[in-house]
Chains A and B, each alone.
Chain A
């Protein structure tokens, strides 16, 4: 089943009088259960593509569909609802709400979704256990390491059982050990729950976890179906 589909997408940014084409006519499909890496140098358009897949931004041209719904025809509120119900995010800068504890950060999307207290508690405790942070439930972000914070972010992204989790450079601010731990947790969750992951990275150590590697350069996809070892999945 196709979770996300991108057709002929162009995204242009205007800074003053300068026009920058971040994406130059990209087409792409993400299937359910994928664990896909978007790779490429800085400025290749990885983050822009993730933002479009995450309904955080709209394309200048082309169509983006999530679960079969065209996001370019949606209102702000409909896109917010789509994010709430179908998408999870993990950002490079950990992106936790600093005033909330680990438990509360994971609980937040469930509260927004209107999940009942008992179910919420059960879900948050399951996720805290899954990311091995049960002992840190009552810690605030500033009381946790970068790795721990990113694991909380992963748990939060998973809390509402989304169809697609988008991770932008999830290991960029972590040391090797923590980076590996976060990637392993994400890979395990993908394997155990079948949730689809798309993550942008330019860290070669992360490629190996990906089942599919999409290589981008200058706003275009140069290799849509690599396998992380420099070879093409389809050629296998």
Chain B
């Protein structure tokens, strides 16, 4: 066995440039699939993180009548006196330790107009002092965030401001649906602009104090939901099952982002096809190299057979060559893939506005996430595909008739 590897190594060394190029094909193939895996994972992890941060939270408490996506303001569809529920949660010591923040939020549909432009938006009423607003507070690009007492101020996404060609200090007219089906209209002053780096969200969401949204929508002390962030999202099921009460339902981030989780699962299955396509292209290079090698060394294979080498030993020799190419190529491919993934983990991969809206939020950059599991899985896959590909030329060599091989046929 050792002797076979020694011979295999020398054979590869004989045509060093060709061997290096073949190994490089494996390296590039592996680096590419590592990058694809890291970007896919980064996209999914990033999307889930964004959706949790901006939209679903880890847990939401809603009215049991609530209908997803309708932004209904009927009192029966809303949570009454959310603060008392929050107080109960905060008073319960095991839950309070697990909950990072719980805050009421009220969503309403609105139309914003400035000059001749009118755009449909979502109005989000928030408690300005809540730490759940961190993504907006940290994303302020101009002006400032909302103030508790500011009944006339709004904060809008930078992209929406660009669309409406307005800036901080400018006024906007808002037409808002109310709980009794009327429409309320009022002028507001833009206090600040924010970016969450999620284009679809930033160009359609306007923030206002919860009190003010409750006032203009005539919902009094009602909220669409209680938005809860946990210290650890794995506790979501446990916390959700501990919260119960008549008239409302408790949903975890998994319940609310089923589409996203299904998409992730589908993407993972689909990616296997992409990996295999990339590796198949790599494998053709290996097959080509080894077939060339078999043809060049036909007479030599004949000599090996003449001195008593059996077919399976000749097969082993070519497989040894393929495995050296694979191991060398994979080692360099891992280093290359890791470096490229590190770059995209740090600087991200700009995708701009993908136009995806609704349940699934996507940032404008994807940050690559290369996991140990993906690396191991893809490394083994690359090795197996290379070895399977090399079987054909190896069998070709092993099946040569000694007498024909000696005559170079």
Footprint of B on A, CB under 8 Å? Answer: 51, 54, 56-57, 76-77, 80-81, 83-85, 89, 91, 93, 95-100, 108-109, 111-113, 156
Contact = CB atoms under 8 A, between A and B. Distances in A.
Contact of B306 (A56, A76, A77): A56
Interface in B22-70: none
A80 B14 contact: no
A2 B313 CA distance: 31
Contacts of B307: 83-84, 89, 108-109, 112, 156
Contact of A83 (B3, B7, B14, B306): B306
A83 B311 CA distance: 13
Interface residues of B, number: 22
A195 B183 CA distance: 112
Contact of B303 (A51, A77, A84, A97): A97
A156 to B, nearest CB: 7
B310 A80 contact: yes
Given A77-B310, A80-B308, A97 B300 contact: yes
B311 A85 contact: no
Contact of B14 (A57, A76, A84, A98): A98
B306 A89 contact: yes
A51 to B, nearest CB: 5
B132 interface: no
Interface in B1-21: 3, 7, 10-11, 13-14
Contacts of B310: 76-77, 80-81
Contacts of B3: 111
Interface in B192-223: none
Of B11, B306, B310, most buried by chain A (CB within 10 Å of CB) is B306
Contacts of B10: 99-100
B309 A99 contact: no
Given A80-B310, A89-B306, A99 B14 contact: yes
B13 to A, nearest CB: 8
A24 B406 CA distance: 23
Given A57-B403, A91-B406, A97-B303, A84 B11 contact: no
B314 to A, nearest CB: 10
B14 to A, nearest CB: 6
Nearest to B310: A80
B305 interface: yes
A126 to B, nearest CB: 18
Given A109-B307, A111-B3, 10 more contacts: A77-B310, A80-B305, A80-B311, A83-B308, A95-B299, A96-B303, A97-B300, A98-B14, A108-B307, A112-B313
Interface in B279-326: 299-300, 303-311, 313
Contacts of B300: 97-98
A112 B305 CA distance: 11
B82 interface: no
B7 A109 contact: no
A89 B406 CA distance: 12
B303 A56 contact: no
A122 to B, nearest CB: 18
A113 B406 CA distance: 21
B154 to A, nearest CB: 78
